Amino acid sequence: MLPSLRGLQALSVLSQTGSLTTAAGVLGVSRSALSHRIADLEHQLGVALIQKRGRRVAPTDDAEALLLVMGDALDRIEAAVEPIRRRRSQLRISTVATLASHWLLPRLPEFRALHPDIEVALTTTRRVIDLEAEDIDCAIRYGLGRWSGLTAALLFRETLAPVAAPIADQNLDGSSIIRARSRFRDWSLWWTASRRAGKPSDGGLVVESRAQALEAALAGGGIAMIDMAYLEAHLSSGRLKLLAPPVTLDEGYYLVRRPVGRNDRLVRAFEHWIVAASEQPRSEARRVTALSTQGPGRNTGRA
């Protein structure tokens, strides 16, 4: 019969700490439970494994020989078991960095409060995730909602709007526009859908991502074309101004998952929550747009 792994783990930690109390704390058990694990292992092996040395405890010669033979076997077993254990309680989500920082992360505490038993691990990337082959449970992705073999739930459609800080040049026909390389067509898409004459300026500032474009706009560096889902707090606080009505595109952000897969209970709980949470920015976008385009002082974007 193989010896108890719990007993071997208790013996290993105890040999490192020299204290029953400290070893129990490391393992997250009571001192009594730790003592029982050692005693059970001694009973299995038929030898004494620990001995008193003043106020401390130390492994006996038999225990030292056992630990020497074991080497890092316990660590390797733990490394193999941990991913299996993790998958039962950890939800792994992939999305793009801007959506993570400016939309999802501020809302995640609400999900954690509703589901304290679910650990969330969030990764960000712009590459396409293979949900069948990679250790990812679900992803938030941009597109038209058609991914072969996968289920996609719409969160919100892309709603573009030009925004700038109150101190910035707010002339949409000028050269103070901010473009993101990752979303370089946003200005042209909004310009065409808004039926504006001409085309947006070729000048201005070019940054790598939409998140950087938003930061540049907040700093007064020009006019950024940003999704309304990211703007609620900035518009409400007055840090940014909406310079013209937003335009809604056909593309949007979707929660994408396998129809049936590992951690299905966790994924379904997250899907139920995030679809409901996504209703709020849609309602807020309509409210902010209405306020910015009605009544005296209507902002035409022609400052």
Angstrom distance (rounded) from CA 225 to CA 179: 7
pLDDT of residue 11: 86
Angstrom distance (rounded) from CA 45 to CA 42: 5
- Of 47-61, 74-88, 281-295, the range with the lowest mean pLDDT is 281-295
The residue type found at 122 is L
> Per-residue confidence at 186, pLDDT binned at 50, 70, 90?
very high
What does DSSP say about strands 247-257 and 138-143: parallel, antiparallel, or unpaired? antiparallel
Residues 6+ apart with CB under 8 A from 199: 188, 191
Angstrom distance (rounded) from CA 264 to CA 137: 8
Q: In Å, how far are 180, 217, 227 from 172, measured between CA atoms?
A: 16, 13, 17
pLDDT of residue 195: 92
pLDDT of residue 202: 86
Query: Which alpha helices (H) appear in the chain, and where do they start and end?
Result: 5-17, 20-27, 31-45, 61-70, 73-87, 97-99, 105-114, 186-193, 210-218, 232-237, 264-292
Write down all domains in the chain, each with its CATH number in brackets: 5-85 (1.10.10.10), 89-303 (3.40.190.290)
Mean pLDDT within 257-274: 89
The model's pLDDT over 208-260, given as tens digits with 9 standing for 90+, comes to: 989 999 999 999 999 999 999 999 889 999 999 999 999 999 999 999 998 88
- As a whole-number percent, the residues of the chain with pLDDT over 90 amount to 41
Checking if the pLDDT of 274 tops 60, the result is: yes
Map tokens 């929660």 to a residue.
Answer: 255
pLDDT of residue 301: 28
Mean pLDDT within 111-117: 92
Checking if the pLDDT of 285 tops 50, the result is: no
Checking if the pLDDT of 303 tops 50, the result is: no
pLDDT of residue 292: 45
Choose among 198, 203, 197, 211: nearest CA to 176.
203
> Per-residue confidence at 193, pLDDT binned at 50, 70, 90?
very high
pLDDT of residue 171: 92
Mean pLDDT within 107-116: 93
Chain centroid to CA 250: 25
Q: In Å, how far are 172, 190, 219 from 179, measured between CA atoms?
A: 13, 12, 15
pLDDT of residue 86: 60
Q: Interior CA angle at 11 toward 9 and 16, to 5°?
A: 100
Coil, helix or strand at residue 9: helix
pLDDT of residue 206: 93
The model's pLDDT over 3-55, given as tens digits with 9 standing for 90+, comes to: 778 888 888 888 888 888 888 888 888 888 888 998 998 888 888 988 888 77
Global pTM exceeds 0.85: no
- pLDDT averaged over the chain? 84
* Residue 155 near residue 252, CB atoms below 8 Å: yes
